[in-house]
């Protein structure tokens, strides 16, 4: 059994991590809950016991085997090296180390072997990238994907629990004829959407979009795959959706793609043309699998496929992926 610490235990991802360690019966010798000094002292129940959250400091990692870090990038940057020095392996959910060539970037359904090459830190990819990778890699294995164009529909919870609450408050205000207040987002999100996150780079891409480009290449182990994305924030509360256009070197039959995806790890095919039922974020919420459907040929060229996916970005897009990486380490 392993001595595990969760850094960022009081956040939304931290809460999912706790639930998954319990429900997946992770071999735990000990569990330490760490957070910022502001959240220290909170009590969290785990397997019927009440555990106190401790403020993280330089000594927090003594005797710890695995750190599941779900704090912000600056906390990870400061704390991960200390944890590694203390002998722990850090599975980090922030973007701090993802593109570091010494740090494996792992989606267990895609590149599990990369996890064993770590030098103390393993990075958990960006949520939107994980969901897309799980859905398209099974096709890439059969016929190489030349190009991916993605449009995402990202829920408010991707910007944190307070953002979710803000959308609900805005919706109530609007429905009762009042002016909605925006503090987390720059404008009201209720009954609206944002076509981009800020800041935009000199080419007009935001960070989330560039993560999809760069992280997909690293996870798939090829710089040849071309990716472009438009990441949109929508007033869905939880679970992200993505419209994906794929271009291959040769034609890929939609029925073959459907068959491959029907048994792909981490995927649930939801592609009911007769029942007119396809993936929706409300159905992906709280689920482990990425729901994939609307699989069709691209009518604009004969080597293209289109699909639609929904996945819980806090679960498979963050916490579950991290716990699966931890499971690879203890196998």
Closest separation in Å from C-beta 132 to ligand HSE: 12
- Residue of 100, 101, 97 lying closest to 80 (CA atoms): 97
Q: Taking CB under 6 A as the criterion, which residues in 20-39 touch ligand HSE?
A: none
Residue 206 falls in the annotated catalytic set: no
Report the residue number, 159 or 329, with the smaller CB distance to ligand HSE. 159
Q: According to the binding rule CB under 6 A, does residue 166 interact with ligand HSE?
A: no
Total count of residues recorded for the chain: 331
Q: Taking CB under 6 A as the criterion, which residues in 193-232 touch ligand HSE?
A: 208
Among positions 111, 154, 241, 285, the unique one binding ligand HSE when judged by CB under 6 A: 154
Q: According to the binding rule CB under 6 A, does residue 164 interact with ligand HSE?
A: no
**Residue, CB closest to ligand HSE:** 158
The rounded Cα 17 to chain-centroid distance in angstroms is 13
- Residue of 268, 227, 267, 306 lying closest to 219 (CA atoms): 227
Q: Which of 127, 140, 231, 310 is catalytic?
A: 127
Mask: binding to ligand HSE, 114-153, rule CB under 6 A, as x and -?
Answer: ------------xx--------------------------
The CA distance from 24 to 65, in Å, is 18
Report the residue number, 2 or 194, with the smaller CB distance to ligand HSE. 194
Mask: binding to ligand HSE, 293-312, rule CB under 6 A, as x and -?
Answer: --------------------
Q: Taking CB under 6 A as the criterion, which residues in 88-117 touch ligand HSE?
A: none
- Give strand pairing partners of 52: 43
Residue 118 falls in the annotated catalytic set: no
**CA dihedral defined by 50, 55, 58, 61, rounded to 10 degrees?**
20
Closest separation in Å from C-beta 317 to ligand HSE: 6
Closest separation in Å from C-beta 218 to ligand HSE: 17
- Give strand pairing partners of 43: 52
Q: According to the binding rule CB under 6 A, does residue 313 interact with ligand HSE?
A: yes
**CA dihedral defined by 212, 218, 221, 222, rounded to 10 degrees?**
60
- Residue of 118, 106, 114, 77 lying closest to 94 (CA atoms): 77
Q: Is residue 14 a contact partner of residue 8, using CB atoms and an 8 Å limit?
A: yes
Instruction: Write out the two tokens for 252.
Output: 């890929």
Q: According to the binding rule CB under 6 A, does residue 241 interact with ligand HSE?
A: no
Which stretches does DSSP call E strand in 40-178? Answer: 43-46, 49-52, 54-55, 66-69, 89-92, 121-123, 145-154
The catalytic residue positions are: 127, 240
The binding site for ligand HSE (CB under 6 A) comprises 126-127, 154, 158-159, 208, 313, 317-318
């Amino acid at each position: 059994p392993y001595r595990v610490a969760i850094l960022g235990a009081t956040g939304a991802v931290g809460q999912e991590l706790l639930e998954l360690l319990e429900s997946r019966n992770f071999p735990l010798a000990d569990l330490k809950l760490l957070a910022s000094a502001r959240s220290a002292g909170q009590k969290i129940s785990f397997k019927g016991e009440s555990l106190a959250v401790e403020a993280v400091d330089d000594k927090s990692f003594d005797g710890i085997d695995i750190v599941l870090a779900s704090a912000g990038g600056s906390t990870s940057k400061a704390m991960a090296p200390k944890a590694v020095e203390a002998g722990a392996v850090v599975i980090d959910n922030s973007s701090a180390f993802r593109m570091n060539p010494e740090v494996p970037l792992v989606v267990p359904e895609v590149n599990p072997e990369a996890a064993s090459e770590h030098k103390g830190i393993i990075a958990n990819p960006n949520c939107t990238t994980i969901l897309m990778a799980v859905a398209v890699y099974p096709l890439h294995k059969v016929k190489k994907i030349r190009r991916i164009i993605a449009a995402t529909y990202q829920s408010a919870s991707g910007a944190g629990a307070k953002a979710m609450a803000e959308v609900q408050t805005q919706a109530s205000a609007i429905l009762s004829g009042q002016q909605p207040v925006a503090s987390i987002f720059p404008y009201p999100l209720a009954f609206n959407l944002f076509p981009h996150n800020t800041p935009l780079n000199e080419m007009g891409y935001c960070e989330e979009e560039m993560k999809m480009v760069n992280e997909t290449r690293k996870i798939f182990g090829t710089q040849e795959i071309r990716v472009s994305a438009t990441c949109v924030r929508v007033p869905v509360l939880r679970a992200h959706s993505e419209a994906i256009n794929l271009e291959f070197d040769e034609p890929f039959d939609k029925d073959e793609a459907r068959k491959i995806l029907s048994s792909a790890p981490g995927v649930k095919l939801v592609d009911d043309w007769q029942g007119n039922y396809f993936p929706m974020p409300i159905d992906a919420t709280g689920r482990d699998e990425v729901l994939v459907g609307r699989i069709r040929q691209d009518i604009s060229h004969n080597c293209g496929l289109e699909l639609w996916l929904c996945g819980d970005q806090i679960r498979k897009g963050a916490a579950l992926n991290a716990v699966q990486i931890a499971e690879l380490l203890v196998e």
